Structure 1
Amino acid sequence: MPRVVNEFEISQERIKQEQTEGLDIKHHEQVESKQNSFVKQVQAMTNTLEEMGNPFLDECENLEVLCTRDIADPKVANTIRNIKHIGKNQYQEYLRGRLDNRTKPLSDPIKQNKLHLFSRQDSKVAKDKLQISSLKQNCSLFSQLYCSCQVRDGNLYELIRHENQA
């Protein structure tokens, strides 16, 4: 009995020491679980739908982002509408080619789809913005160099002869 009491006291001292050092020890019911975070996500989605209106009731052909109401590219909207049909066709083709007709071996890779999606849409816009930014920087650089060549009696032909990009 004294040994058990001694072990209990030692464990309590260890817990107090860890709490004073800043370590957080909680019971499993005190920690937020995945289910609680899922419930919070569902509540946030419900609040967004109540604030912005239900997008499923809209009669328009456009695909919109819920929080910003930005309209997606029509190619992306078309992909979203037809993706189930595309997947079913590919599955049927897989069954016919590999299992029914046995014209293709099972080890042949399945070709990757290059569908228009949101992520691919953003990359094109980002490239355009980077190119415009680069052109603005070049314009500023050349105007400064041109002014400095005129003030310092520099050779303008020597300045333009060199490239500033790869």
Structure 2
Amino acid sequence: MVSASEASRILMETSDNTDNSDDTKHHEEKQTKQKKFQTQVRQLVETKDDMGNPFKEDTSDLYTLDTKVVMSPEVIMSVKTAESIGNAQYESMIVERLSNNMKGFYETAKKNLLPPFRTGSRKKEAEASKVKSMKSDIQLFPRMYISCHMRDGDLGTFFEHENHAWPLSI
């Protein structure tokens, strides 16, 4: 147990070491933060003026603010029903895992496969990559064939090797 004299000594030491600065502002109230915030607000207002106010649009379409690309009906429906789907899953989780113990608490929840805002971009990129690779193969094959023929290579072994980045389809 700490004696009274020891407690008073510790209290005196800690009170001497406290920093009595007059700066009692929150770190976001300082001038540099305020200037940065004002700059960001000004940039936001300029961007809104350039692109138009999205809340004044008289349309029921869902579109991106920056490119004004209108979303597909599937995406619009998924945005409208996302909250109700989440609430239904929450309720079923409470009933199945906590109330009735039908499933283990740590079992993985089912993933929702709602369509994303940008659909098909990845697939198109992959297809474009394959087409680009095939075009380079079209140019590569005749050169390799001619060089094998000119060097008196064995054409039987030439066709044994694949030159694709992916396996050929059956």
Q: Which TM class, normalised by the smaller chain length?
A: 0.5 to 0.7
Distance across 2 between alignment mates of 1:132 and 1:73 = 27
CA contact (8 A) 2:75 2:117 kept: yes
C-alpha spacing 1:71/1:45, structure 2 compared with 1 (3 Å): farther
C-alpha spacing 1:67/1:135, structure 2 compared with 1 (3 Å): same
C-alpha spacing 1:138/1:76, structure 2 compared with 1 (3 Å): farther
Match of 2:30 in 1: 29
What SS does structure 2 have at the residue aligned with 1:88?
helix
**What one-letter code is carried by the residue in structure 2 that aligns with 1:29?**
K
Distance across 2 between alignment mates of 1:89 and 1:130 = 41
Which structure carries more helix by proportion?
1
Deviation at 1:85, TM superposition (A): 1.7
Structure 2 segments unaligned to the other structure (5+ residues): 1-28
CA contact (8 A) 2:64 2:70 kept: yes
The 5 A counterparts of 1:134-149 are: 134-145=133-144
Deviation track 1:41-79 (CA, whole Å, cap 9, x = no partner) reads 554444333322334424253x43322233445443432
Match of 1:59 in 2: 59
TM-score between the two structures when normalised by the length of structure 2: 0.55
Deviation at 1:37, TM superposition (A): 5.1
CA contact (8 A) 1:64 1:72 kept: yes
Distance across 1 between alignment mates of 2:155 and 2:52 = 62
Distance across 2 between alignment mates of 1:155 and 1:91 = 68
Number of residues of Structure 1 aligned to a counterpart in Structure 2: 135
Deviation at 1:143, TM superposition (A): 4.3
C-alpha spacing 1:162/1:103, structure 2 compared with 1 (3 Å): closer
Distance across 2 between alignment mates of 1:97 and 1:103 = 5
Deviation at 1:161, TM superposition (A): 4.5
Distance across 2 between alignment mates of 1:42 and 1:83 = 31
Distance across 1 between alignment mates of 2:58 and 2:147 = 59
CA contact (8 A) 1:76 1:116 kept: yes
Distance across 2 between alignment mates of 1:39 and 1:94 = 45
Match of 2:95 in 1: 96
TM-score between the two structures when normalised by the length of structure 1: 0.56
C-alpha spacing 1:72/1:134, structure 2 compared with 1 (3 Å): farther
Distance across 1 between alignment mates of 2:120 and 2:94 = 32
C-alpha spacing 1:126/1:90, structure 2 compared with 1 (3 Å): same
C-alpha spacing 1:44/1:128, structure 2 compared with 1 (3 Å): farther
CA contact (8 A) 1:76 1:118 kept: yes
